[in-house]
Amino acid sequence: MNKAKIAAMARDLESAYNKGNIPVNLELIAEELGILVRHGKINNDVSGVIFKEGTETVIGINEGEPPERQRFTLSHEIGHFVLHRERDLCVTSQRLFRKPASGDFREMEANAFAAELLMPKQAIENAVLKLSADEVVSKVSELAKTFGVSEQAMTYRLANLQLFPMS
Ligand SMILES: [Zn+2]
């Protein structure tokens, strides 16, 4: 699936249920999709899982990770649900976040979806409108807090949208 299509699917989901609220209400989106979300203890190097339990779809989030990471994981797993419905199980290890190019294109697709859902292009552009590149750099921490993501995730996002000078 190409990146534009993935981004469009994330935007459609955001506008259908979240309707422009920032930070994006992922719990509401999951609920609207009929997904049960559970936060709990998971094996150390696993960030999240999505699986079927009877007729229910369940997303499990590793509660031992920082809250912003848990949000990214939930967004990523929602991506699997929307993009890869044919799959009934996916385990997302921390390694895949650190090294997303490690072979499984579904993981890269879910990450691209997650970034668009958590940090909608239009909302990011509005937030940095009229700022110089240096001003954007100095606002990364504030932007990350506003959107409920890590500074690293925000930095990548800004770079992807070509709003951030990568050194
Ligand atoms: Zn995954």
Domains of the chain by start residue, with CATH: 3-118 (1.10.10.2910), 120-167 (no CATH)
Is the pLDDT at 149 greater than 60? The verdict is yes
The string of pLDDT tens digits covering residues 61-89 is 999 999 999 999 999 999 999 998 765 56
- Starting at the edge strand found earlier in the chain, the sheet holding 46-53 runs 35-40, 56-62, 46-53, 89-93
Orientation of helix 121-128 relative to helix 140-147, angle to 10°: 140
Is the pLDDT at 155 greater than 80? The verdict is yes
Distance (Å) from CA 90 to ligand 1 centroid = 6
**Per-residue confidence (pLDDT) for residue 45, from 0 to 100:** 83
Distance (Å) from CA 105 to ligand 1 centroid = 10
Q: What angle do CA 115, 154, 142 make, to 5 degrees?
A: 135
Rounded to two decimals, the pTM is: 0.89
Distance (Å) from CA 89 to ligand 1 centroid = 9
Is the pLDDT at 124 greater than 80? The verdict is yes
DSSP state of 120: -
**Per-residue confidence (pLDDT) for residue 56, from 0 to 100:** 87
**Per-residue confidence (pLDDT) for residue 61, from 0 to 100:** 94
List of residues 6+ apart from 22 with CB closer than 8 A: 123, 146, 147
The string of pLDDT tens digits covering residues 28-40 is 999 999 999 999 9
**Are 11 and 82 a contacting pair, CB within 8 Å?**
no
Strand partners, 13: none
Structure tokens at 84: 């890869």
Distance (Å) from CA 92 to ligand 1 centroid = 4
**Closest-CA residue to 10 (of 39, 130, 18, 42):** 18
Whether the CA torsion 15, 72, 60, 9 is positive or negative: it is positive
**Are 8 and 15 a contacting pair, CB within 8 Å?**
no
The backbone torsions φ and ψ at residue 53, rounded to the nearest 5 degrees and listed phi first, read: -130, 100
* Number of Cβ within a 10 Å radius of residue 92: 24
Distance (Å) from CA 110 to ligand 1 centroid = 6
Distance (Å) from CA 143 to ligand 1 centroid = 25
Distance (Å) from CA 135 to ligand 1 centroid = 34
